[in-house]
Amino acid sequence: MRWAPGERSLAIARWCAGRGWPVHPLAPGRKTPAGNCDACRASGHTHRGCGCPAAGRWCHGFHAATLDHARIEQWWGAGPRLGVGIACGPAGLVVLDIDAHERHLPQRDRLLPGVRIDESVDLTGLANGFHTIGVLAALRGCASPADDTTTLRVRTPSGGLHVWYRAHRGHRWQCSTGSGGRALAWQVDVRAHGGYIVAPGTVTEAGRYVPVGDVREPALLPAWLARELERTGHLPPAHVSVPRPVPPRARQAVLAAGGGRAGTSGPLTPLLAEVAACAVVPEGASFSEKLNRAAFTAGGLVAAGRLDAGEAERLLRETAELARPGQRRRYAAIIRSGLNAGVRRPLHLGGRA
């Protein structure tokens, strides 16, 4: 990760997006998101229903995070001093933010929430998050995440450490920061859904976020840590219906649909995006209708000589599988029907014939 100062942020943003991690700008020299536009600063205004992200503006921080290459080039090409943040939830990341701040030691019951530390235990020398996460790991008979050389770790300018993990499929871990109730350990925050993390290599006025060691990819969240996160309330109750994140491979399939020859599959890209977005809604997302529309359009592109038939079917099947895993018989029939209907109506540059 060695880049010229004027190219650093754009290169970092590209690197992250290439791994399926949606990115958003941070204020120059800061670890906080770039500011909203004037309209979005109005009292009571929220990201819900706001048109700024769709219009290509970065308002509302991680809610505007994107994998769109054109937007990434636009944002960081025009603002090379902007930092790079990653929306953890959509990226499928769980990051432990271990701090080393000088703070007064809290009461014993706040060191490891839900874990009783007997009065006979000497706490002399315990001073920060490295110690508390180490104690928790030791109690579970495991090594501290701070020493986990199998995953991406990033040293922060303040002397803390970000330990990156990939979430298990289907788990929607929640942030502890700002939750008011969830906590894994004193001076250890959890960055997941509802939050963001500063990208490796980003430079702030306090210093640079420096990767530790040679590993640059997150490992799968260890089972013992997953149990601790569930115990401390970082996973919604099973009875609560929670949308699933769009899988990174589905997002990549959608991006791939825009590649190839100029104009080859541009009309297909937004339709594949609608199919991929069904992954966040287990039921009632009009999956069949959206897949049929995408297949019909793909068939029209094939008939017009603008898309290879095999490539069309591959894109449709990959996106459908990742939106509705294990339902191959269902989506295969929809794809076959849509393609067959579409090839009878060639889709030319000016529209359907």
pLDDT at site 265: 52
Q: Is 337 helix (H, G, I), strand (E, B) or coil?
A: helix
Q: Which of 322, 174, 197, 188 is nearest to 251 (CA)?
A: 322
Phi, psi (rounded to 5 degrees) for 211: -60, 145
Q: If you search the block for the tokens 């994998």, which residue do you land on? A: 67
Q: What are phi and psi of 248, to 5 degrees?
A: -55, -35
List the beta bridge partners of residue 185: 188
Amino acid identity, position 277: A
Share of residues in the chain with pLDDT > 70 (%): 86
Q: CA dihedral defined by 154, 155, 156, 161, rounded to 10 degrees?
A: 80
E strand map for the chain: 23-26, 83-87, 93-98, 153-155, 161-166, 188-191, 196-198, 203-204, 207-208, 210-212, 219-220, 347-348, 351-352
Predicted structure pTM score: 0.67
Question: According to the model, what pLDDT value does residue 197 have?
Answer: 97
Per-residue pLDDT tens, the chain, 353 aa: give them.
566 556 899 999 999 999 999 999 999 999 999 988 888 988 888 888 888 887 888 998 999 999 988 999 999 999 999 999 999 999 999 999 999 988 888 888 889 999 988 888 888 889 999 999 999 999 999 999 999 999 999 999 999 999 999 998 778 899 987 655 789 999 999 999 999 999 999 999 999 999 999 999 999 999 999 999 999 999 876 544 444 444 555 555 555 544 434 344 567 888 888 888 777 665 556 777 788 888 888 888 898 888 889 988 998 998 888 888 878 887 888 898 889 888 888 876 544 33
Cα–Cα distance for residue pair 253/205, rounded to 1 Å: 37
CB-hemisphere CA count at 13 Å for 174?
Answer: 17
SS (H, E, C) 16-69: HHCCCCCEEEECCCCCCECCCCCHHHCCCCCCCCCCCCCCCCCCCHHHHCECCH
Distance CA 118, CA 244 (A): 40
Which pLDDT value is given to residue 119? 86
Provide the pLDDT for residue 270: 81
Sequence-distant (≥ 6) Cβ neighbours of residue 89 within 8 angstroms: 172, 192, 193, 194, 195, 245
